[in-house]
């Protein structure tokens, strides 16, 4: 059965849920922004791509 009568408590609970929801949304946006900032300023970022990359070999090492 649905609640027909709203208590002041429900308003407080809704406010809390809304606050947490907005915080989470803001956090998602922040991490996205951080990702863009880190990747765009990343410089020599390289992933494992299973290809021989001579520039990674140190001096004096064969390869």
The nearer residue to another protein, 14 or 57, going by C-beta atoms, is 14
- For residues 33 and 39, give the distance between their C-alpha atoms in angstroms, rounded to a whole number: 10
Taking the complex as a whole, the smallest distance from the CB of residue 10 to another protein amounts, in Å, to 9
Residue in the block written with tokens 């208590």: 7
The 1-40 contact track toward another protein, x by CB under 8 A, reads: --------x--xx-xx-xxx---------x--xx-xxx--
Buried/exposed 10-22: b ≥16 CB within 10 Å, e otherwise: eeeeeeeeeeeee
Taking the complex as a whole, the smallest distance from the CB of residue 17 to another protein amounts, in Å, to 9
């Amino acid at each position: 059965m649905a609640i027909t009568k709203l208590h002041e408590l429900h308003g407080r609970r809704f406010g809390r849920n809304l606050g947490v929801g907005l915080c989470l949304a803001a956090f998602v946006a922040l991490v996205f922004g951080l990702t863009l900032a880190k990747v765009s300023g990343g410089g020599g970022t390289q992933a494992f791509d299973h290809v021989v990359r001579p520039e990674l070999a140190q001096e004096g090492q064969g390869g």
